[in-house]
Structure 1
Amino acid sequence: MESVKRLFSYFWVKLLLVGSVITLLAGYAYQLSTFYVVENNLTDRVVQSEREVDNRIIMIGIDEKSLTALGKWPWPRAYHAEIMRKVAEGGAKAVWLDAILSEPSHDQDDNAAIAEVAAKYPNVVFSTNYEFPRVQSGKGKLEYDRVNMPFFPVRPEQLAHVNVLPDRDNKIRTGILSLPHKELGMIPSVGVRLANYLLPEKEKIRQEKDGTWYRGSEKIPVNDRQEVYFSFAQRPGSETGFDVLSYEDVISGTVPPETFKNAVVLIGPYATGMQDQYFTPMSKSLSMYGVEIHANFIQSLLDNKLYSPLSKTVGWILIACMAFGTYALTNRFKGIRGLFVFIGLFVLYTLALIITFSYGILLPYVYVLLAIIAAYVYSVVDQYLTERQQRNRVTSLFVRYVSKSIVDDILSKKEEVQLGGVRRDVTLIFVDIRGFTPLSEKLEPEQVVEVLNEYLDLCTRAIFKFNGTLDKFIGDGVMGIFGAPIQTDNHAELAIRAALEMRKGSAELTERLRQQIGHTVQFGIGINSGDAVIGNIGSKSRLDYTAIGDTVNLAARLESNAKPGKILISENTKARVESYFIIEEMGEMKVKGKEHSVMVYEVIGEKLEDKQKEA
């Protein structure tokens, strides 16, 4: 009971620590908008949607055709006065010119023409432009240096500001609903001014005395700068979007005035050389003319597709909830279930973003996903390291008794180790130390063990080097398996290379014993290939991973007949490796347990060409 309490308290301490660290890291990045570009690119996919536009929004473009016909820009103000008169008399609800007429012309007739239109048609809207300082104080509301107003008298309701503020990636995503004026109060944007001409009376856009904005009875989510994010309806220059007419066609009379009946008309630059283009979320490569941006803003105001980012405080809370929740759940549901939990949280939060957007709220996306991913990755890594630690502890103990390949094979199985085995084509190697018994009579027991360990260690390293499995030590001998549990097609070749490695490595030990005690020992090795039953043999309480069968017996018999320093192999093994090694026929040999004699071969060494290839 006490251990359960300790485990439970350990989990909560770890949850508090991990959740807090992830929250602080993701929250810090969120506070600084570190992944600003990525965040906007991802949310753009949610909020920007091409859709059908209102055919009462018409653009008259000052295009290349018009510039060719009417001459270089700027044109006489009389042209603008004439085209606005045509549109207004054609029955348009409103007409707006995207040009700053803050300075009078040298031509008094031009000045008089534009002033006359302003006085005669109250639904003609003129542009004001605010000049902002390069750096804002950061107090919230936008500060400005000056306002460029029309040089001629206009009614307050004929004014609209044209300012837009690009984001840090130079894309336009927001519209400024209004800007302050010392004498006139608040001047609405072109979008607000023209959208109100199209909206029913009960749905018109207005600003209350407390600064709150409404579209009808619905609140518009704006920030301290009166900005609102909006959803573009069309891509730059879309042929299926807003109607765009040529300035020259309208002023020349090619387009009849009644075309503009009940419409709001936007007149502005529609040629690349006029430098009135901006990037938007609708295209990474194509910029959009300013008049198009205003048309899209009007459409969003009509559709009420406006939204505002969540406050930073609530964003921090969301990040914390996801960090703590993800770690707790993925720690509870491990493995594939934990992966499903992670994917589920990922999908659910994405759906939450889409749903909340429909209510005008934009959730932080990248930073919350960062918290989810970090919590999941830490949980997986923590689980892996814990399991690895336990596995290493078991392996370090178990590998002292059996081969590491056997340990890995057992640990890789999820189910309990079962009795029994499988038939497999393998190569068996038996090694025995010739002359060890006389040697042990001349040495002290401690010295005998030391010498034996050196020889057995040499055999073990040679077997492992060539991916063999150390099956067991048999007194002063060794039994090894090649081809199980790690399956290899060239197990016979690997077994012989291991035998040659043993013979080569024993030379130094033999020389040292000769100098110390005047006596030497050498290996006698037998190798056979063929089918054997490989698996866990024994009882439920004591298992032995080994090989059983006639193939094993013959390998043992070959070893018992091998003279010191000799490597004997069977005919079956010889057929598999004769292209790699120098092999001599020893003739038939009668071995214990076999009714008929068997053909025996001796491995002399590697063929010269094989050594050259290796070199």
Structure 2
Amino acid sequence: MPTRGLLRRGARLVRDTGRWRLVATGALLLLALFLAGWDWNRPLGSGAAREIPTADAERGLYDWRAATFAPRVAQDQRILMVVYDDQTLIATRKRSPLDRGLLAQALRNMDAMGAKSIGIDILFDQPQDEDGELLSVLRSMHTPVWLGYANLGDNQEQIIFEQQQFLDRFVRAARTAKVRPASIRLETDADNVARSWPVPTPGQPPLLTLAMQPSPSFRDYRGAIRFRLPVRQADGSEEPVIPSLQIDTLADPAMAPALAAMVRGRHVLIGGDIVDIDQFETPLSGRQARSTMIGLEVHATMLAQLLDGARLVAVPEGWRWLAALLVICAAGLTSLAELRWFALVPALGAQAGAIAGVPLWLQARGWDTKGLPAVGWVLGWVLAFTAIGVAARAVTSQQRRFAQAALGKYLPRDIAAQILAEPEKLALHGEKRQIFTLFTDLEGFTKLSHAIAPEMVAQLLNRYLDMLSDVVLAHGGTIDKFVGDAVVAFWGAPIARPDDGRNAALAAYAMWQAGEAFRRDLPPGVPPIGRTRVGLHHGEAIVGNFGGEGRIQYTALGDSMNTASRLEAANKALETTVLVSRDAMLLSGLDWWRPMGRVRLRGRSTPVDLFEPAPEFPVEDRAALAEILAAFDGEDAVAQSAARERLKAMVNHHPDDAAIANLLYRYEYVGEGGSYGLG
């Protein structure tokens, strides 16, 4: 649908929607815009319970994107992790606090090896016998050393007041120009997954990562942590991205010289790699051998990101809301357009591709998509599409009911113009008129409607009725009503014209042709549809407005209508498509008719002579058929027998003509005289 048409339809929707429905639709669109534009990282209030409802789904989708597009790198030669592991605890027979004598010896050796900086992810919050030795080593260090620090304000679960007091005393005692405190705080989201750089707490020392490698560009960075995956080797193995050594080996004087190359010039991070302690889930959980990552490695990952200058750029808030607005507008316009399936499918595919593809494209190019509402885009689109569609269908239904109640029929343009000029020609009471009445029926449509989707039924029925309505109006008829797939029309009211008979007969044949064209042009997947059957009769009917002054329900009632309806129904039994009574045939002025015998219509005692338009049937055969049927009407048995043989010969001459074969069967069944009853 062109843009101008969409705008007009949208304007009509706003104009015709009731106040409360308009308010409800607007509220749903605002909710859709909110879902599609809100940064799911930002809580709606205090506490995890105030999160946007889609937050869990957004987290899962982000983790998949981050893991899928995580860069694969060789082992990082700039950073070294030195760890206390479970074997170390067994060897030292100390679990908490960690053995500080071992740490003192390792620090002394690393200072001699030429480490670039040392960060200690351990809290010295409890006294230990080796404290004196450790403080002595710290005060003699030439390498910059950063002691892990935390306070009650941001780490209440792991430190109590007495521990805080001891930690503060220890840090003061160890502090020199080379030894200073640094915050080892890490942040997790509501699902306990570490995804972002922590927000600094007022009064805290600098973050350990920034302390070890100062960087003005990362000082205020609060975006996503860029996690990395190891490069797969030719044999399928993978080396850890960040190398690590047990602290025991670095503390051993005999081993230290051999390990000097691994320490020299590197940033060294010291901490624990102990089962069930300081373990974090990350977006890479499930992509690596271990489902969790130790806090020390999270710090190391952040340090590597800083060293690489990989400050991930978040999508600006204005862009995010603009994208949300585009998603909602696309959904609304698609719903408003009411596209047919062959146009709707590509439109939906393009929009689905954009909604799913943009976050992936941004993630692959190094953007921080953590706050991008990818799930929100989908939900917002669905909500907006549904809200506009429901409102549009409600308004359309209301407009259709209004049109049916206010008009009751369609009129040809010239008749409508005359009525506007002379309103008295539209009788607001019943009056007897001689009219041509036409009924149609689409064979098998009721059964078909149960086999296909309701939307397709509505689409097909509207298209079919439009085609038949166009035929009626093009031939100057008045559309009385639609009854399911049936069309009822008449000629001769509200204004009678000399050529009404001819136009009605031409319209009857043209409506059958339109039905055949409709059958040939069905969408793929729709089962075959039967023929359009038509009945036409001329007779007296009461025509006028039967609904009163306030409801223009202009229609016709009477025997003429009933006869036309039964003529249409007789097509099925007689294997014809268009049946016309003798009265209508004589007044048509056309010469294309062939007689189809005399029958008693259902519910009638008086026989009716039937005729069928047959412009393609040979003229000489039409004349011969008239002679044959005239012979059957007489009382001469010899003439009737000869007529029957001539009819058999005609059937053999037109073997594909089911109507002629049916005519022969009827005369053989009835015998001499009488008429065929349809029951």
- Short-chain TM bin: 0.5 to 0.7
Hey, what does 1:328 align to over in structure 2?
Answer: 333
Q: TM-score, normalised by structure 2?
A: 0.51
1:469-522: CA deviation from partner (whole Å, max 9, x where unpaired): 9957788xxxxxxxxxxxxxxxxxxxxxxxxxxxxxx9xx9xxxxxxxxxx99x
User: CA deviation digits over 1:394-416, x for unaligned, max 9?
Assistant: 9x999962136369777678997
Instruction: Assess, with a 3 A threshold, how the Cα gap between structure 1 residues 258 and 55 changes in structure 2: closer, same or farther.
Output: closer
**Secondary structure of 1:230's aligned partner:** coil
5+ residue gaps, structure 1, are: 136-144, 197-203, 207-213, 431-447, 476-505, 510-519, 522-535, 540-546, 564-588, 591-615
Alignment of 1:33-432 (within 5 A): 33-48=52-67, 49-52=70-73, 54-74=76-96, 75-105=98-128, 107=129, 110-121=130-141, 122-132=143-153, 148-149=167-168, 151=170, 152-155=173-176, 158-176=180-198, 178-181=200-203, 186-194=204-212, 196=213, 204-206=214-216, 214-215=217-218, 222=221, 227-234=222-229, 239-252=239-252, 253-254=254-255, 256-273=259-276, 275-284=277-286, 286-307=291-312, 315-316=320-321, 318-328=323-333, 331=336, 334-335=339-340, 336-348=342-354, 353=359, 354-355=361-362, 358=366, 362-377=371-386, 401-403=440-442, 405=444, 417=514
Hey, what's the Cα distance between the residues in 2 that align with 1:240 and 1:14?
65
Does the C-alpha gap of structure 1 residues 25 and 556 become closer, same or farther in structure 2, counting only changes over 3 Å?
farther
8 Å CA contact retained: 1:171, 1:281? yes
> What SS does structure 2 have at the residue aligned with 1:402?
strand
> Which amino acid in structure 2 is aligned with residue 242 of structure 1?
I
Is residue 24 from structure 1 mapped to residue 30 from structure 2 by the alignment? yes
Quote the Cα distance in structure 2 between the aligned partners of 1:235 and 1:130.
Answer: 35
**Partner SS, residue 130 of structure 1:** coil
How far apart, in 2, do the equivalents of 1:427 and 1:349 lie? 43
Shift of 1:37: 1.3
Deviations 1:287-335 (A, max 9, x none): 1111111111112222333447667777555433432354236645934
Could you tell me how far apart the structure 2 residues matched to 1:304 and 1:341 are? 41
Residues 305 and 177 of structure 1: CA distance in aligned 2, closer, same or farther (over 3 Å): farther
Deviation digits for residues 539-575 of structure 1, max 9, x if unmatched?
Answer: 9xxxxxxx99344433444455558xxxxxxxxxxxx
1:233 is matched by which residue type in structure 2?
A: R
Secondary structure class of the residue paired with 1:84: helix
| Cα distance change of structure 1 residues 342 and 71 upon mapping to structure 2, 3 Å threshold | same
Q: Normalised by the size of structure 1, how large is the TM-score?
A: 0.56
Are the equivalent residues in 2 in contact too, given 1:221–1:306 (CA < 8 A)? no
Query: Where do residues 430-441 of structure 1 align in structure 2 (5 Å cutoff)?
Result: none
Within 2, Cα distance between the matches of 1:283 and 1:293? 13
Contact 1:81 1:114 in 2 (8 A): yes
**Aligned partners of 1:245, 1:473: CA distance in 2, in Å?**
98
**For residues 384 and 188 of structure 2, what CA distance do their matches in structure 1 show?**
34
RMSD: 5.6
- When residues 178 and 381 of structure 1 are mapped into structure 2, their CA distance, relative to the original with a 3 A threshold, is closer
Q: Does 1:10 align with 2:25?
A: no
CA distance in 1, matches of 2:668, 2:137: 121
> Residue 584 of structure 1 corresponds to which residue in structure 2?
none
Compute the displacement of 1:231 (Å). Answer: 1.6
Q: Which amino acid aligns with 2:104?
A: A
| Contact persistence 2:154–2:201 (CA under 8 A) | no
Q: Structure 1 residue 93: deviation in Å?
A: 0.8
Question: For 2:229, what is the secondary structure of its paired residue?
Answer: coil
Cα distance, 1:23–1:164 mapped onto 2, change above 3 Å: farther
Relative distance call for 1:470 and 1:244 in structure 2 (3 A) is farther
Please report how far the alpha carbon of residue 128 of structure 1 lies from its aligned counterpart in structure 2 after TM superposition.
Answer: 0.7
Give distance in 1, aligned partners of 2:388 and 2:205.
54
Which piece of structure 1 moves more, 124-133 or 324-333? Answer: 324-333
Aligned counterparts of 1:117 and 1:414: Cα–Cα separation in 2: 95
Q: Mark the runs of 5 or more structure 2 residues left unpaired by the alignment.
A: 39-43, 45-50, 157-162, 232-236, 411-437, 447-456, 468-513, 521-527, 534-557, 582-601, 606-612, 617-653, 673-679
Amino acid at match of 1:232: F
Deviation at 1:112, TM superposition (A): 1.2
The CA distance in 2 between the partners of 1:42 and 1:548, in whole Å, is 69
Return the offset for 1:364: 3.2
Deviation at 1:373, TM superposition (A): 3.6
Contact 1:26 1:370 in 2 (8 A): yes
Residues 250 and 256, structure 1, Cα contact 8 Å, conserved in 2: yes
Give the count of matched residue pairs.
439
* 8 Å contact from structure 1 (residues 164, 175) kept in 2: yes
